[in-house]
A and B are shown apart, each in its own frame.
Chain A
Amino acid sequence: MDNIKRITLRALPVENLKQKPVRTTGLVIVVAVLSLIFFASSLLTINLGAGLESMQRRMGADIMVVPPGATAQTEQILVNSCPQTFYFHDDILGDIEKVKGVSQITAQTFISSFAAGCCQAKLQIIGFDPDTDFVVQPWIEEQFHERVQDGHIIVGANVHPSRDGKVRLFRHRFPVDGQLARTGTSYDNTVFVNRETVRLMRDYSAGIGTKTIAEDEVNSAISSVLINVTDRSKPEKVAERINAIPGLENVEFIYSSGLSSKVRDSMASITGYVWVFLGLFWITGMVILFAVFSSSANERKKELASLRIMGATRKMLISMLIKEATLVGIGGGLIGVSLAALLMYPFSNYIRQLLKLPYLPAGVGVASSLALACLFVAVIVCVLAAGVASAKLLGSETYLTLREGD
């Protein structure tokens, strides 16, 4: 007698799930797939949003003036991590500085490194002037509290120095003063240097036969002029005034708001597809869950009627079925969320490469909150499906249910 396992009403939900492994596995798989899709698509949307926010923070200027025909190339630098080079003469700085509405002005020089080895991707090198810069320098100072030295470099999160703390560019090893935090933008693949180091890099590249900047232009070549306008001025109006300067009729402008809205539009189309796909998947999944819970409750008509005859109240049986559904929801939800996290985090660099958009993986706090939300939704959906199915079934007369088919 001692060997007989006593099953209480409290232990009955677990025993019921154990006794029907195929049904339980099927339900857990459906919930796991739903949770996986929900978690993965929500995380994708959050990461894209964080990437856009990071890009807006890093762009830091109201207007970017670039040479004629260089707008698309510049946008590629800012969004897609495609190293580019183009130049104009820095004598335009003096002219632009005098334009009404210009509050801050600085210049940047872009150089593209060549792939030094099979494990070295091309890097974008941005030369800036620490004395006038208001875009890169404040960001560097946030993390290092000092200026980048001549002949030294600051690297983005994806650029890894070797063990001696140096990065090899143009067959020269440059000491790294610091590595910036991940931004999810092209700045992660960028090397920042001051104007003096730009000249050094030009010399090193010329020494190995790589063309970057012409020797006579090395002191005057700039790739873009970054402008902040005064509070009362509109960037478009300031751009018009710059275009009115003789010799600057054809220069092009990139507005931070314009670039952000372009990126936002690209993201909106991706997230739109994601949410439509998610919606369709959830509708299908919920229909399957309701169908499976209804058919399994229907299958268990006599089992439930027997329990009623043994003294279990309707409330007890509904509570038992809801506990079963809760266990299925927790199990499936945990599996789905874990699988989604296992795919989304290790593959985050590949996802960013595929999307060609700013993509900043969410931190532990955000991911944990999202995981809890997914788990909660999975449990609620299961409980609702089981509740509806069991309420309908337990509404009928017990005796008739038990004798059904006799």
Chain B
Amino acid sequence: MKSKLLPTLPPIVLGSLIAFGPQTFAYPCPIHGDHPMPMVCHWTAQASLAVGLTIVMFGVVAFFVDARMRAGLSVAVAVNAIAELAIVLWLIGVCENPMMHCTSVMKPTLVVCSVLTLVFAAVAAFVDMKKN
């Protein structure tokens, strides 16, 4: 049970933050009557929802499988974390103005969660690989 905490708990918690953070407290620039065009940060939030939910799913599955499989899932979580970082920083990005909520809150939230997910997944993969 204890050995399953590292490959399961961090991806579930951090993946949820990546998925639902931009939908709640770390929201992108809003779309409303005056500004009906979605900004670039809106698409980053949508992509993060998909990547975050994938990470959560890997975390849940890791709870029911053996160490070798868990190591593979942790590698997959790490790859997804790198993909999320790339989405936020290069592939899609956020608005340029540092005073906007998407730049001052959404971007750092996603970067911090992705980096932590990557570190935890790398450690979990290393620990589970050593067991085999």
Partner-B contacts on A (CB < 8 A): 81, 117-121, 158-160, 189, 342-343, 346-347, 349-350, 353
Chain B residues with CB below 8 A from A117, complex form: 35
In angstroms, Cα B105 to Cα A120, docked, is 16
B104 touches A353 (CB 8 A): yes
Q: How far is the CA of A347 from the CA of B39 in the complex (A)?
A: 21
Known: A119-B39, A119-B96, A158-B99. 11 other contacts (CB 8 A): A118-B30, A118-B31, A118-B39, A119-B41, A120-B97, A121-B97, A121-B100, A158-B98, A346-B112, A349-B98, A349-B99
Q: Cβ of B122 < 8 Å from any Cβ of A? A: no
Q: A121-B100, A160-B96 are in contact. Are A346 and B35 (CB under 8 A)?
A: no
Known: A118-B39, A158-B97. A342 touches B103 (CB 8 A): no
B70 interfacial contact with A, CB 8 Å: no
Return chain B residues, CB-CB under 8 Å to A121.
97, 99-100
Contact of B100 among A119, A159, A343 (CB under 8 A): A119
| Per-residue interface assignment for chain B, residues 18 to 43, with 1 indicating a CB less than 8 Å from any chain A CB and 0 otherwise | 00000000000111101100010100
Contacts of B35 in A (CB 8 A): 117-118
Task: Report Cα–Cα, A353/B101, bound state, in Å.
Answer: 10
Chain B positions 85 through 104: 1 when the CB is less than 8 Å from some CB of chain A, otherwise 0: 00000000001111110111
A148 CB to closest chain B CB, in angstroms? 22
In this assembly, does B60 line the interface, its C-beta being within 8 Å of a C-beta of chain A?
A: no
Residues of B within 8 A of A158 (CB): 97-99
Chain B interface, number of residues (Cβ within 8 angstroms): 24
Q: Can you list 7 A-B contacts (CB < 8 A)?
A: A117-B35, A119-B29, A119-B41, A119-B96, A121-B99, A158-B98, A346-B107
Q: Is chain A's binding surface mostly helix, strand, loop or mixed?
A: loop
Task: Flag if A160 contacts B108 (CB, 8 Å).
Answer: no
Tell me the bound Cα distance from A393 to B65 in angstroms: 45
By CB atoms of chain A within 10 A, which of B100, B102, B104, B111 has the most?
B104
User: With the chains together, A235 CA to B34 CA distance in Å?
Assistant: 48
Question: B47: CB under 8 A from chain A?
Answer: no
Task: State in angstroms the CA–CA spacing of A350 and B96 once bound together.
Answer: 14
B17 to chain A, nearest CB (A): 14
> Would you call B79 an interface residue if the criterion is a C-beta within 8 Å of the partner chain's C-beta atoms?
no
A203 to chain B minimum Cβ distance, whole angstroms, is: 24
Residues on B with C-beta less than 8 A from A353 are: 99, 104
Docked-complex contact B97 and A81, CB < 8 angstroms: no
Chain B neighbourhood of A346, CB < 8 A: 107-108, 111-112
Instruction: Return the chain A residue nearest B94 by Cβ.
Output: A119
Chain A residues contacting B99 (CB-CB under 8 Å) are 81, 121, 158, 189, 349, 353
